[in-house]
Amino acid sequence: MKTLRILARFYHLNPRWLYLAFTIVLLIPLLVAIPKPEFKASRGPLGVYKVLDGCPPGGVILLDSSWDLGAKPESLSQLECFVNDLCRRKIKFVMFSTVFFGPIFAQDVIRPIAEASGYKYGEDWVDLGFLKPPNDNMSLLLDAFLRDIPGTRPVDFFGTPVKDIPIMRRVKTAKDFNMAMTISYAPDPAAWLGIGKSQHGMTVAFGSAAIMAPYYYAFLDSGQLSGLLAGNRGAYEYESLTGMYGLGSKAMMFFAFGLCFLIFAVLMGNLGFWASARLRSKS
């Protein structure tokens, strides 16, 4: 009876205690160095890695970096590990964003990596800036963009005409790209797979938030999606493949502690609920 009463208190616990405990748990990875466990990369990150394996140095990738602060905790590490690998392999890339602040956030990540790798803006990479999907319909934008890039986006982020940008003289349509990678909270499969893959024959890979990833496994399973980076775990696994550890592996530990605490909170709540019910039935 006494044990039941103690357990029942868990259910009526003041949430402030939970918040305090959550904060302390999240501080642990900051204070204690935790060794990385052994694991095998799953097929999503492995797929992205294999596609880049088949891309020759000097090849061009279309990179859609459509995220801002809301998705930053997961998309930032994905973009960082992907661009790191592109620069390591000397693969060029054309970037754009369908989120208004997307180009600013992406440049903060890309520019230091590109400069450290000796990439020149305009020759090895370019930022085409923000592209507004008509009526928020990504399929319409992508269809027009992949048919005629200079016609749909005549200038880059800084207002330079694309005809004056060396890398843009090489890429006019979808067939000029070796692959398309889109990193956002929830990439649009209808647009990228329906238009990019089915109509233009592009190889497509996604980087998405972990919470959205279950939706994309259906496309990974069917082979339409060549690779998938799911949240920080995707970035973490990709970093393990390239051997270039960065934000993904750092963020992963916080993510692990946070999720374990979430499971603990669910168990505690249920234990308290069960004990309360038993107490009620006994009395």
Partner 1 sequence: MYKNLAKAITFGAGLYYLLEFLLPAKIGGVANPFTECYGTVTIFLMVLGAMAFFLGPINLVRGEYKQFISFKKGWVESLVFLVALVMGIVTASFRSDDPSTATKFVKVMSVAYNGLFYGAQLGFYVTSMGLISFYLVSAAHRAFLLNTVESGLMMAAATIVMLGLTPAGDYLNQVILAILPAKLQWLQVGTVAQWILSTPNTAVQKAVIFGACGGAFAAGMRNWLSLERSMEQQ
Residues that bind partner 1 in the complex, under the rule CB under 8 A:
11, 13, 15, 18-19, 22, 34, 36-40, 42, 69-70, 73, 132-136, 140-141, 143-144, 147-148, 151-152, 210, 213-215, 217-218, 220-221, 230-231, 233, 252-253, 255-256, 258-263, 265-266, 268-270, 273
Compute the least distance from the CB of residue 163 to partner 1, in Å. Answer: 16
CA distance 228 to 215: 11
Judged by beta carbon, residue 88 or residue 200, the one nearer partner 1 is 200
Judged by beta carbon, residue 54 or residue 270, the one nearer partner 1 is 270
Q: How far from the centroid of its chain's Cα atoms is residue 125's Cα?
A: 20
CA distance 127 to 33: 37
Judged by beta carbon, residue 86 or residue 253, the one nearer partner 1 is 253
Judged by beta carbon, residue 168 or residue 252, the one nearer partner 1 is 252
Compute the least distance from the CB of residue 46 to partner 1, in Å. Answer: 12
* 257 Cβ contact partners less than 8 Å away, ≥ 6 residues apart: 25, 26, 28, 29
Compute the least distance from the CB of residue 166 to partner 1, in Å. Answer: 23
CB hemisphere CA count around 109 (13 angstroms): 25
For 76-107, b/e burial (b = at least 16 CB within 10 A) is bbbbbbbbbbbbebebbbbbbbbbeebbebbb
Compute the least distance from the CB of residue 257 to partner 1, in Å. Answer: 8
